[in-house]
Each structure stands twice: as C-alpha cells, then as structure tokens.
Amino acid sequence: MNSLEFSLLVWLGSLAAGFLGSLTGLGGGVVIVPLLALRFGVDIRYAIGASLVSVIATSSGAAAAYVKEGYSNLRIGMFLEIATTIGALAGAFLAARMSPSAIAVVFGAVLFYSAYLSNRPRPEHPSAARPDPLATFLRMDSTYPTTEGLQPYRVHNVPGGFGLMFVAGALSGLLGIGSGAVKVLAMDQVMRIPFKVSTTTSNFMIGVTAAASTGVYLSRGYIDPVLVMPVMLGTLAGSMLGARVLTRAKSRILRIVFSLVILALGVELIYNGLTGRL
Amino acid sequence: MRAWTDERVERVIGGLLRWGVIVAAAVILAGGAMYLVRYGSTIPDYRVFRGEPSDLRNVSGIVTGAVSWHSRGLIQLGLLLLIAVPVARVAFSVVAFALQRDRTYVVVTLIVFAVLLYGLTRVGP
C-alpha cells in the first residue's frame, strides 16, 4: 500500500467515524484511535496525535451550528474549562510516561464505559428547588428554549462537576478523544443541567480541551502531518454530514450498532494491549 | 454601539469558529495534495514510532517550512491555525466579558487562556 492508497483509505475510515460519531453523539475520536492502531497498524501515539487534531476540528465546526439554537451556556462552559484544560495537560504528561500497551488497555476500558453511558436510561433530574450559592455567584443559572418557551434551570453541585471535568480532561489528553460522554455525565447528572444544554455546552468545551494537550503532543513529535491530513479532513466532512442528517434520522438503532462496534474495538484493544502487540 | 449580550457574543464566536476551521482545513488540504503529488507512491510506515523531526514540532520550524512550500510544513501550519481557533475563542471571550464588566468571568477566562498558552509554548518532553 503506497501513501496515496493509505491516505484514501484512512480518509474513508475517518469519514465513516466522523459521520457515525456525530449521529450517535459519541464523537469520532473513540473510533479513530482503535481504527488506526488495529486496522492500519499505526503506532498508538501517532494515532492519538492525529485523533486530537480531528477532535478540535469537529468540535469547532459543529459548535457554530449549536450556538445558533441558544442551548449552550458560555459561563458554565468557560468555568468548567479551567478543570478540563488542566486535566488535559495532566493527561498529556501522563501519556509520555505510560507504555503504548497500558494506554491501549485504558482506552479499551473507556470504550466500554462510553458505550454503557450512552445506552443507559437518563433520568431527568428535576431542577434544584433552592438556588446553589456557588452557582449563583458564578451566574450559571439560565434559561433554554423548549416547546413551551424559555425554561429556566438551576445549576447544582459545582465542585462535584468541576472534579469530574478534570477527569474528563485527563482522559482527553491521555487518549486523544473528546470524552464528551464524561463531560455530559458531569453536567446533566452531577450538576443537574438540562440534557440539551449539557450536550451542546460539552461540544463547545471539547475543542478548547483538546487544544490544551495538542500543543504538548506537537512539541513531543507525536503529530505526523501526513497522517493528520486524511484523519482531520475525513472526520470533519463526516461530522458535518452527520449534523445535517441528525434532525431526520432515527438514532436509537444506530446508537446500538455503533455501541457494539465500540465494544468490539474495546475488547480488541485490551487483548492486544495485554499481549503486548501494540 | 449595540450591547454585547451573551447571545451576540456566542453568535460572533460561532462565526469565528466556523471560518477558522474552514481556513485551516483548506491549508491542510493544499499541503496534503502537494505531498501526495510528490510522494504518493512511497510506502508509509507508522508501525515504528520515531517521533517527528524538530522542524515539524515547533512554531518557528513549521512556519519556515511552510513559507518555503514544504508540503509537510504546510500541513503543520494548517494544524497550528486549527489550534489557534479555540485559543482565539477564549481570547475573544476575555474581551467580551470585559465589555460586559463581568470581572469574575474575565478572571475565569484568563485562567483558561493561561493554561492553553502554557500547553502550547512549553518546550521539551
């Protein structure tokens, strides 16, 4: 396989990953790294570097569309980005000290958890009855559009959400993924922010989080331009396509199929990691 | 002058993000096309991790390579532009919060900005 064929195949794979990732809300990053490492024989460090770049592109590209809808909350996002960016730097430093096999095993475990999170029923917590003093001080309480007009919501347990966001950032920096699943968990389950606000704000934060660790990867020489090119262009095109279809498609079956793919990749990553083949 | 409401700030940020990504993707595509025209028939090898040469690792090396039309330098330049998009978003938010006289969030946003700069300018492993 020469460079031209390799680039075309990687581009097609990334296109599919970006498309499915945006349709299911799981993001393309969770598939890109295993795809490159297992199917294309790319060293996992190069794969993580290329994936991080594609995460910045898809997050920034999609955010423009979400902003218009009026769901995302700039203040919540910015405050929690303190935790995710510091976490991302910690994750990137950790990546240099872990063997590729160990990273593969952690990656596999995160894939399992992501598949579980996206398929479990989401209890909608009623908005907190009393305002939270810290959330009030940080002016996080806001409104979001629903079919019955603007609905106010109150934010809860800011320190808990902040702590979990640090973990989300660390996973992002270590594995080259957006870790949107953990970010949404922190916002809608811990901080009791409405689901729609959580997902759009999370998407907004992913690009900034990934930018923090990409600099570290770049200076360490983990980012190969020739590999980045098809991965970034493919996932970007795929996710934009996905965002267009999103409003029409029935995503439940797709999500189950995509989760099964993720589980299979997770098993393979852990197996290869434990047997030292990566 | 119109007031900098949250909605207006987010709309401007949205446009900034979209155009930044489009420009970065175009530069990466141009560099990639140049590379494949010249080296498309070579055999790629990513099995063994070697790490990138130093001129593809730092800003000055990348810019030097890109202005002399080195294809890989050009792709890395597109990559730097892409990284600049969320960084610019944070920088713009600092200004927007300052215009809203929201001191708490000026400080919050400056912290995020400082962390980003630290990650991007740090040299060495």
Rounded to a whole number of angstroms, the distance between the first and last alpha carbons of chain A is 20
Look up tokens 């992002």; give the residue. Answer: A172
In this model, does residue A195 exceed pLDDT 80? yes
Chain B: nearest CA to A38, how far in angstroms?
Answer: 11
The question of ipTM being above 0.95 is answered as: no
Task: List all residues of chain A from 41 to 100 with a beta carbon under 8 Å from chain B.
Answer: 41-43, 45-46, 53, 56-57, 59-61, 63-65, 67-68, 70, 72, 74-75, 78-79, 81-82, 85-86, 88-89, 92, 96, 100
Name the residue facing A96 among B41, B82, B125 (closest C-beta): B125
In this model, does residue B124 exceed pLDDT 60? no
In this model, does residue A5 exceed pLDDT 60? yes
Domain ranges of chain B: 6-121
Confidence of residue A48 (pLDDT cuts 50, 70, 90): very high
pLDDT at A189: 86
The amino acid that residue A183 corresponds to is K
Q: What are the C-alpha distances in Å from B25 to residues A186, A232, B6, B30, B63?
A: 31, 8, 28, 9, 17
Q: What is the mean pLDDT of residues A85-101?
A: 94
> SS3 letters for A62-101?
HHHHHHHHCCCCHHHHHHHHHHHHHHHHHHHHHHHHCCHH
- Tokens coding B44: 């790629």
A150: β partners: A145
Confidence of residue B121 (pLDDT cuts 50, 70, 90): confident
Look up tokens 């769901």; give the residue. Answer: A71
Confidence of residue B110 (pLDDT cuts 50, 70, 90): very high
- Tokens coding A77: 């996002």
Q: What are the C-alpha distances in Å from A118 to residues A148, A186, A268?
A: 27, 14, 20
- Tokens coding A216: 């570290």
Residues 6+ away with beta carbon under 8 Å from B43: A1, A2, A3
Q: Model-level pTM?
A: 0.90
Confidence of residue A34 (pLDDT cuts 50, 70, 90): very high
pLDDT at A131: 82
Chain B: nearest CA to A32, how far in angstroms?
Answer: 15
Highest mean pLDDT among A62-71, A96-105, A252-261, B12-21: A96-105
Domain ranges of chain A: 3-274
- A225-240 per-position pLDDT tens digit: 999 999 999 999 998 8
Q: Looking at chain B, which residue has its C-alpha nearest residue A95?
A: B125
In this model, does residue A123 exceed pLDDT 70? no
pLDDT at A170: 96
In this model, does residue A88 exceed pLDDT 70? yes
Provide the mean pLDDT of chain A.
Answer: 87
- B31-58 per-position pLDDT tens digit: 999 999 988 888 888 877 778 887 788 8
Q: Decide: helix, strand or coil at residue A142.
A: strand
In this model, does residue B59 exceed pLDDT 90? no
In this model, does residue B116 exceed pLDDT 80? yes
- A157-172 per-position pLDDT tens digit: 999 999 999 999 999 9
Confidence of residue A68 (pLDDT cuts 50, 70, 90): low
pLDDT at A127: 63
